[in-house]
Structure 1
Amino acid sequence: MEAAAGPIVSVDKVWSTNHGQTGLNTGVTSEIAAFDAATNTIWVAGVVGVDVLNAGTGALVQHIDTSGFGSVNSVAIKNGVAAFAIENKTDRTQNGTVQFYNTATRANTGSVGVGALPDMLTFTPDGGKLLVANEATPTTYGGFDPAGSVSIIDMNTRAVIATPGFAGVSQQGGHIRTNTGMDFEPEYIAVSADGKKAFVGLQEANAMAVLDLASNTFEKVVGLGVKDFSAGGNEIDPNHKDNTISLRSAAVKGLYQPDGMATYQAGGKTYVVMANEGDTREDDGDKGRVKDSGLGGYPDDLKQLNISLTDSTSGADLVTFGARSFSIRDENGKLVYDSGNILDAEAIARLIYDDGRSDDKGVEPEGVALIEIGGRTLAFIGLERTKESAVALFDVTDPYNVSYLDMIVGGGDVSPEGLLAYSFGGDHYLAVAHEVSNTTTLYRLAAVPEPASLALFGLGLAGLGFARRRKNIQD
């Protein structure tokens, strides 16, 4: 461990709200959160509706029931407008809607039809456009599979002005898991600070699409390649039945397959931060254990590992889902940093690693949130599959010289799904929506000049003033 450059960040828990508690049993599952500065409220989306919480206290201000429209998958807020992504009520392979609400009155102000299964949405920095990721997954194996797309809504007219798809879009890079536009399923969208480009995660396809927001068309689809788990610093635990937790080198490659994404600027360039969760298509029969695959020549230690049956071949490295890490890429998809085995290793050190997930995707990095504090850009990475809520904290100010800071472990919270970092009234905050415990928790963040006492950390964050660096990826 070497001392971290820059300030130490203190983390203090402000409140935690259980959406299923007596008097607040709205039915909402805490999944995605958005902040409205005008009303100082946090809007938490989850299946049946959205709970609007007082950001100062965590108290419920209002529950907005969306069950009449369909299941709500995401919420985004800009300029006093809250946008909800709603899938089709009766058949999610059919077109969904975006429902709009006034954040002051919380009244519905209209809707716009979008593509199938709108799973995530985000505004451009100026609020002029709303981008909707239409994931368009089939419901059953071999069933109707709609085409994935992005709906681009002009917020001045509240109308869809373009719905770019993937047919005929140039593909480059390695290990794209499909070659048909029908199979690209947009998972997440991150927009550049200048609003000129959007980066669309195609998780199951192990790819990122670059969307030009001037022409509203896709420039290219970039394959994200694979991670080598036999390389030093990339070790994994591939076995959940050996009664031990141990990271070791394995002749396995991991598809990156990011879920949450975010962008930031460094040195005048745009970089994309990705949480490399890994996933299979919902109708995919491609997943199977090594021991059941018919592939030979692999050690017993790997036989429990879930792999891609189409990407793995006898006599070569196995290919599994997810990279058990977070990465930073440039705007062309080139990998400049990967956290290696830090996330799994730190979860093990905190005694919150779930060995039952070793055969699958480890801690499953899910969400990403970025914030600038004290002149440093900090990245928060939510880990979906740990025994308690875990959010890893990194200094990514220089994407070529990233420092691991520490891990926020939230007692009583389980499975962070959505992360939200924001500044308000001169203070900085991190809100974490937890899907399994059905809780939303708010933390206050502050820069503390070095040297600072580690006694600041009442949440078990001792060591937040120290860093571990991974070797960066360069030519």
Structure 2
Amino acid sequence: MICLFQNIKEGKMFNKSTIALAVSITVAGITGCSNDSESVETKVFNRIATYPVCMQIDSSCNTDDETAAEIVAASEDGNTLVYSDSPAEKVGFVDISNSASPVGLGTLAMGGEPTSVAVKGNYALVGVNTSTDFVNTSGELKVVDITDRTVVATLTLAGQPDSVAVSPDGLYAAVAIENERDEDHVGGADIGINPQLPAGSLDVIDISDAEPTNWSVSNVSMIGLADIAPTDPEPEFVDINSDNIAVVTMQENNHIALVDLVTGTVINDFTAGSTNLSNIDTSEAKPRLIELTDSQPARLREPDGVVWIDTSYFATADEGDMNGGSRGYTIFDLNGNVVHDVGNELDLRTVRLGHYPEKRSENKGNEPENVKTGTFGKDKFLFVNSERSSLVFVYNVNDPTNPIYKQTLPAGVGPEGALTIASRNLLIVASEKDNRGDKMRSSLNIYEYGDGEVRYPTLQSVDNNGVPIAWGAMSGLAADINSDDILYAVEDSFYGSNRIFTIDISKTPAELNAANKIMDSNDVFASISTSGVNEDLDAFDDVDLATMISADKSVNIDPEGIALRLDGAGFWVVSEGAGTVFNTTDATTVDTNSGALESKARPIEKLNLIFKTDTSGVIEEVIELPAAINDKQRRFGFEGVTEYNGKLYVAFQRAWVESVDFTDPLNPVSTLESNPRIGVYDLTAKTWMFYFYPLDAATSQNGGWVGVSDITSLGNGEMLVVERDNQAGPDASIKRLYKFSVASLVDGDTVSKTLVDDLIDDLRNANGLVYEKVEGSAVLSNGDIYIINDNDGVDDNSGETQLMKLQGLLQ
């Protein structure tokens, strides 16, 4: 088949059917012109395994110790991975002879901070930072026998190493000696600005001898090359082509050098230059909004990772540091000419996939960290690791001057190093972020290149006014009452000017094609009063409706659940309250079920409310809880809503306050109710009653709590609920669907629930780490169930959103 996109570009084919076919190929992940112009590559990359490296410490990752995979290399046979673990000062080894089931082989202490690793033959070459501070810099190259995992040689380096590369012919190694600056150093009026000596350089190691103890090190100066801080070069990353030419990035200097390793001389150097960015977000708005309306003229690239595409072209990941970061990648020729600049494309793609890191807008957006190439069959691909959006962008670079987008891969949290093992059709990406408390575990992500359909993303947005509809932090989910092709969703309080999304699930991936703001156009919300609240308890002194209504009358609430009104005239949206009664100081709350204590000061800031809107999201009515129930508020409030038989059923996430001990009036102790509530609001009588929902006990090895996330009417008086713990990855234990009947229940009854599905296996089918927040559920008329997870607005989160269809559970 002739390459459609190339022919469209060249004007050889241009009609509606051709464009439609080209678009369908892009969506399916089948893109790119191969070297064979008579074929279109149909193979794709899909994740087949994720190995959390905390398993090297404990087989179930039951450890709080920080450990990370940062840079990864592989043995010559491609069966053993070697990765640098900076926080643990070790290198780790993983057996991937069965690539879908990686097995840890243990770790080896390095006596310092390993910063990079590369492989020659049976040896791993590990750059180790042994510096005592930013001035007294030192480093070593440890040579490790991969088979028996022992250090066989140690070579002294010129300073603090950052990147290690081995030449394709195995004759040379190159080490970028960064001697990084102290970002907190005060010099004149500037903090953390270079120059800060000692200067960095490039170490070249002759590794031609079979015996590592005979290897020799020479040094290449980089002083005087850059226009920016020429006395203080800071080489960041190095790669070597088959001509034994090393390309070296100097990120803080915004400069690039080419070094002939045979002669040890710089043969060319040039500025990395700048680019003009438009339609990006450079403001970290509060409340948070993703607005692609800003521009950055002459933005310095400040490249980090670099890789040769062939002997004539190389690509840089333009992460940025002090003065720049152009949010993309660039392809250069040997003379420093830019042959391709991706511009704002990566930022736009992260927005489209719900991975845009809004809290990094004032910095460098998606922040590309590293680049890697690999040839699979007849096609060469460029892989761009985006650190802040936790994605890997894949481009066909058979023609380096005209890269063609292929697909995007999810990659844990903070992808850093990448490795291709073309002989096994594998891509490996090391994601370095590791913090058990924040539900992040560093991992090695394994992808396979082969036949099949692209499995990620499962949801993406369409363009509106030339840019993608921004989305993220999905919470509630609901099915359309008239069409099994449409779902609706809401975003939680991570974002302001909250919206109702329309999702077309007839498309693959599902297509988010509309976003309507929830609007208080008629001042309905602005007019509510909290005068019915028990003022003696001072529970709601801090509630300020003005902060929840923007100037354009959009609302800043915490939408956690959504349901279609059965009259077809709009939606029900529940907003979770914020804060716990009496927690205006450091009041303690006793969890009746676990006995655990909470002692954070969380004053009441928002009430739990139900909003009735029309089809466009305009508020028509606001429903409040009775004052006596508001006086029991705990921060785990409304999570889901559904309508059945003239009543609204509202799920509370966790149990609220039962009573308070005022023995110490300055620090009252609250005891909780035994179970969370299911609120029932009669739409005609406008009255409330409440059932109680019995939660499963927490079973995670990391403790935590269990709560309800959503509720959906199944008809005939039956309700479906999502029940989950607050754990993720290896600690995740409870992600379940239950159903219960409301038939014959009276006010105050406890429901009796039946297990519908344990979702853990469903979530593991994505071959990543299990997500913490399964937040939304929807049921189609044919009984199919959809679930969706909340990605926390890509804040200490992989950003991964899975919209999953579960079939046959309700038959």
Fold match by TM threshold 0.5: yes
Q: What amino acid sits opposite 2:239 in the alignment?
A: A
Matched residues in 2 for 1:75 and 1:253: separation?
34
SS in 2 for 1:205: coil
Matched residues in 2 for 1:188 and 1:363: separation?
19
Matched residues in 2 for 1:211 and 1:39: separation?
29
The answer to whether residue 159 in structure 2 is matched with residue 160 in structure 1 is no
Q: What amino acid sits opposite 1:403 in the alignment?
A: I
8 A contact 2:385–2:415 mirrored in 1: yes
Q: What amino acid sits opposite 2:243 in the alignment?
A: D
Task: Note the alpha carbon deviations across 1:8-63, whole angstroms, 9 max, x for none.
Answer: 33223222111224336685311110010347100111211111001123211121
1:40 equivalent in structure 2: 79
Deviation at 1:194, TM superposition (A): 2.2
SS in 2 for 1:356: helix
1:199 equivalent in structure 2: 247
How has the CA–CA distance of structure 1 residues 461 and 405 changed in structure 2, closer, same or farther, with 3 Å as cutoff? farther
1:223 equivalent in structure 2: 271
| Structure 1 segment 50-89 matched on structure 2, within 5 A | 50-55=91-96, 56=98, 57-66=101-110, 69-88=111-130
2:356 equivalent in structure 1: 353
| Structure 1 segment 105-254 matched on structure 2, within 5 A | 105-139=148-182, 141=185, 145-155=197-207, 156=209, 158-169=214-225, 176-178=227-229, 180=230, 182-195=231-244, 197-229=245-277, 234-241=278-285, 243-254=288-299
2:414 equivalent in structure 1: 415
Deviation at 1:247, TM superposition (A): 2.0
SS in 2 for 1:153: strand
SS in 2 for 1:239: coil
Matched residues in 1 for 2:340 and 2:284: separation?
28
The answer to whether residue 316 in structure 2 is matched with residue 274 in structure 1 is yes
Q: Which residue of the other structure, out of 93, 99, 111, is the alignment partner of 2:142?
A: 99
Matched residues in 1 for 2:327 and 2:78: separation?
38
Matched residues in 2 for 1:461 and 1:127: separation?
42
SS in 2 for 1:235: strand
2:454 equivalent in structure 1: 457
1:395 equivalent in structure 2: 396
Q: Which runs of 4+ in 1 moved over 6 A?
A: none
How has the CA–CA distance of structure 1 residues 253 and 235 changed in structure 2, closer, same or farther, with 3 Å as cutoff? farther
Q: Which has the higher contact order (CA 8 A, sep 6+)?
A: 1
8 A contact 2:313–2:331 mirrored in 1: yes
Q: Which residue of the other structure, out of 427, 431, 452, is the alignment partner of 1:434?
A: 431
Q: TM-score w.r.t. structure 2 length? A: 0.47
8 A contact 1:192–1:270 mirrored in 2: no
1:291 equivalent in structure 2: none
8 A contact 1:188–1:201 mirrored in 2: yes
SS in 1 for 2:425: strand
Task: Note the alpha carbon deviations across 1:242-283, whole angstroms, 9 max, x for none.
Answer: 632122352532111111111022xxx521111110012xxx
8 A contact 2:223–2:233 mirrored in 1: no
How has the CA–CA distance of structure 1 residues 9 and 327 changed in structure 2, closer, same or farther, with 3 Å as cutoff? farther
8 A contact 2:347–2:366 mirrored in 1: yes
8 A contact 2:376–2:422 mirrored in 1: no
Q: What amino acid sits opposite 1:336 in the alignment?
A: V
8 A contact 2:330–2:342 mirrored in 1: yes
Matched residues in 2 for 1:403 and 1:39: separation?
28
How has the CA–CA distance of structure 1 residues 251 and 442 changed in structure 2, closer, same or farther, with 3 Å as cutoff? closer
How has the CA–CA distance of structure 1 residues 235 and 193 changed in structure 2, closer, same or farther, with 3 Å as cutoff? farther
2:728 equivalent in structure 1: none
Q: How many pairs are equivalent?
A: 394
Greater fraction strand: 1
Matched residues in 2 for 1:249 and 1:153: separation?
46
Q: Which residue of the other structure, out of 320, 331, 334, is the alignment partner of 1:331?
A: 334
Matched residues in 2 for 1:221 and 1:183: separation?
15
1:12 equivalent in structure 2: 46
The answer to whether residue 105 in structure 2 is matched with residue 49 in structure 1 is no
Task: Note the alpha carbon deviations across 1:394-422, whole angstroms, 9 max, x for none.
Answer: 11110122111221124xx2111111111
Deviation at 1:236, TM superposition (A): 1.4
Task: Note the alpha carbon deviations across 1:288-308, whole angstroms, 9 max, x for none.
Answer: xxxxxxxxxxxxxxxxxxxx4
8 A contact 2:396–2:403 mirrored in 1: yes
8 A contact 1:114–1:160 mirrored in 2: no
1:311 equivalent in structure 2: none
8 A contact 1:370–1:380 mirrored in 2: yes
Q: What amino acid sits opposite 2:273 in the alignment?
A: G
2:630 equivalent in structure 1: none
Q: TM-score w.r.t. structure 1 length? A: 0.78
Task: Note the alpha carbon deviations across 1:84-106, whole angstroms, 9 max, x for none.
Answer: 10011534532210010111221
8 A contact 1:255–1:278 mirrored in 2: yes
Q: What amino acid sits opposite 1:421 in the alignment?
A: T
Matched residues in 2 for 1:63 and 1:251: separation?
44
Task: Note the alpha carbon deviations across 1:197-244, whole angstroms, 9 max, x for none.
Answer: 111000111110111222101123311111112xxxx43111111632
Matched residues in 2 for 1:224 and 1:63: separation?
38
SS in 2 for 1:250: strand
SS in 2 for 1:163: strand
SS in 2 for 1:254: strand
Q: Which residue of the other structure, out of 302, 306, 323, is the alignment partner of 1:257?
A: 302
Structure 1 spans left out of the alignment, 5+ residues:
281-307, 309-320, 449-454, 464-475
SS in 2 for 1:20: helix
Matched residues in 1 for 2:285 and 2:343: separation?
23
SS in 2 for 1:346: helix
8 A contact 1:19–1:27 mirrored in 2: no
SS in 2 for 1:361: coil
How has the CA–CA distance of structure 1 residues 158 and 276 changed in structure 2, closer, same or farther, with 3 Å as cutoff? farther
How has the CA–CA distance of structure 1 residues 32 and 378 changed in structure 2, closer, same or farther, with 3 Å as cutoff? same
SS in 2 for 1:8: coil
8 A contact 1:257–1:279 mirrored in 2: yes
8 A contact 1:226–1:254 mirrored in 2: yes
Q: What amino acid sits opposite 1:344 in the alignment?
A: D
8 A contact 2:70–2:84 mirrored in 1: yes
Deviation at 1:148, TM superposition (A): 0.6
Task: Note the alpha carbon deviations across 1:145-190, whole angstroms, 9 max, x for none.
Answer: 2121111111126443420112355x6xxxx422x2x311010011
Q: Which residue of the other structure, out of 46, 60, 70, is the alignment partner of 1:31?
A: 70
Structure 2 spans left out of the alignment, 5+ residues:
1-18, 26-30, 34-39, 188-195, 434-440, 461-811
8 A contact 1:14–1:442 mirrored in 2: yes
The answer to whether residue 448 in structure 2 is matched with residue 444 in structure 1 is yes
8 A contact 2:306–2:316 mirrored in 1: yes
Percent identity of the aligned residues? 26
Q: From the CA coordinates, give the structure whose radius of gyration is larger.
A: 2
How has the CA–CA distance of structure 1 residues 103 and 38 changed in structure 2, closer, same or farther, with 3 Å as cutoff? farther
Q: What amino acid sits opposite 1:185 in the alignment?
A: E
How has the CA–CA distance of structure 1 residues 251 and 130 changed in structure 2, closer, same or farther, with 3 Å as cutoff? closer
Matched residues in 2 for 1:76 and 1:251: separation?
36
Task: Note the alpha carbon deviations across 1:348-369, whole angstroms, 9 max, x for none.
Answer: 0111111111111000001111
8 A contact 1:43–1:52 mirrored in 2: yes
Q: What amino acid sits opposite 1:99 in the alignment?
A: K
Matched residues in 1 for 2:457 and 2:178: separation?
38
Q: What amino acid sits opposite 2:259 in the alignment?
A: L
1:404 equivalent in structure 2: 405
